[in-house]
Amino acid sequence: MLALALFLGACSLNSAKITNNEPIKIGFVSSLTGDAASWGMPAKQAAEIAVDKINNEGGINGRKLELIYEDDKCNGQEAVSVFNKLLSIDKVPAVIGTMCSGVTLAMAPIAEQNKVLLLSAGSSAPAIKDAGDYTFSIYPLDNYEAGLLADLAYDKLGKTKVAMLYANNDYGKGGKDVFAKEFTSKGGQIILSENYLVGTKDFRIQLTKIKNSDAEVIFIFGQPNEMIPILQQIHELGITTQIIASSVTIETDDLKKLGANLANGVIYTSVKTESNDNSEYLKQEFKKRFNKDSDLLAALGYDTVLLTAEAIKHVGLDATKMKDYLYTIKNFPGASGTMSFDKDGTVIKDFIYKQVVNGEFVSYEKSIK
């Protein structure tokens, strides 16, 4: 019996040793196909770069990092299905990369119930703040960015009449609601409020209404895929009204290649990024690997990997300890900007206003604190 006990103990030790040398598996859920793939794919590509960098430098505490990629198609029902698969089959302690607010909000209750870390790269609906103790996003919430756009329109541009065009989803509606509340509280008027379904290609009905209104500014809050046809049709209709928008609507590599000249004059909010080791490495590697420039979406995906690795390095794979660690993050030098988290798990980043000039995204004004 003693020999058997020693044998079983040895097996147990060997098993633990093997387990400890296995790759650390983390889920990466994002929009890899469909209308929001222009958000999700750059994030995935940058995440691959981050994983390779971490593994080439020895991994996390001696273990390789491995991401299990799943496609949520920016659909809450699809996201719940792949999220449950990651938890029940892959046994991951954390899921990162999500871009769509509706997807994050659909997964958040499951993350909370199962005590799994959920770190979104780009979800910004105000409801994210109350989605649970285990849910974080590294992109500021719409009530901040849309509020800055209201300041821009009323205080800095001196405009009092706005027409709104927004995607009929959690992201678009969240930004529209905050902007309207802030703008009207200043004394401005919402002359027209038009929405569209994600995937729409023809916006002429909404844009004709806007053209025939006496709006002084057009507020656009939606997904990158729709921006090129929207801007094309704005030009076709001869609309010259000032356009304001959010960064993830405008500042993408796809828009820069296919339609940045159409966006000339557009003023938008953007996360303030500064040159650091992470941003420079991502820029160089992204160009080398994919032959295109990295954008904010790529930087956000890259940073979800870095932050998760940082948490695991310090506290291990216990998701409760990982989320507790994220609350302590202050001034982390990410590729998407310096970030900290407040007591609600809301990321804190500085913003600037930028403008499209001759097809380039340039600074419009000093940083917004």
Residue range 239-272, pLDDT digits in tens = 999 999 988 788 877 787 777 788 999 999 988 8
Q: Where are the domains of the chain?
A: 22-139+274-349, 143-272+352-363
What is the model's pLDDT at position 135? 96
Sign of the Cα pseudo-torsion (256, 262, 265, 267, in order): negative
Residue range 3-41, pLDDT digits in tens = 434 333 433 333 333 356 899 999 999 999 987 888 899
User: At 243, which amino acid appears?
Assistant: I
What is the model's pLDDT at position 88? 97
What is the model's pLDDT at position 13? 34
What is the model's pLDDT at position 365? 66
**Average pLDDT, integer, range 264-285:** 92
What is the rounded average pLDDT for all residues in the chain? 90
Of residues 142 and 12, more confidently modeled: 142
What is the model's pLDDT at position 7? 37
Residue range 45-100, pLDDT digits in tens = 999 999 999 999 999 999 999 999 999 999 999 999 999 999 999 999 999 999 99
Indicate the CATH number of 22-139+274-349 among 1.10.4000.10, 3.40.50.720, 1.10.3720.10, 3.40.50.2300.
Answer: 3.40.50.2300
Of residues 198 and 229, more confidently modeled: 229
Same CATH topology for 22-139+274-349 and 143-272+352-363: the answer is yes
**Thinking of the domain 143-272+352-363, which architecture would CATH place it in?**
3-Layer(aba) Sandwich (3.40)
CA distances from 61 to 57, 65, 249, 310, 319 (A): 10, 10, 38, 10, 17
Q: How many helices (H) and strands (E) does the chain have?
A: 13, 15
Report the DSSP beta bridge partners of residue 260: none
The neighbour count for residue 358, using CB atoms within 10 Å, is: 8
The whole-angstrom separation of Cα 154 and Cα 320 is 43
User: Is beta strand 117-120 parallel, antiparallel or unpaired with respect to 94-96?
Assistant: parallel
Question: Could you please report the per-residue DSSP string of 205-264?
Answer: HHHHHHHTS--SEEEEES-HHHHHHHHHHHHHTT---EEEE-HHHH--HHHHHHTGGGGT
Q: Does 368 score more than 80 pLDDT?
A: no
Report the DSSP beta bridge partners of residue 135: 118
**Average pLDDT, integer, range 96-115:** 95
| CB contact at 8 A, 348 and 369 | no
Return the H-helix or E-strand segment holding 52.
helix 37-56
Of residues 127 and 53, more confidently modeled: 53
Place of tokens 């998760």: 308
What is the model's pLDDT at position 251? 82
**Average pLDDT, integer, range 329-348:** 91
The whole-angstrom separation of Cα 211 and Cα 215 is 8
The whole-angstrom separation of Cα 72 and Cα 259 is 27
Residue range 154-176, pLDDT digits in tens = 999 999 999 999 999 888 888 89
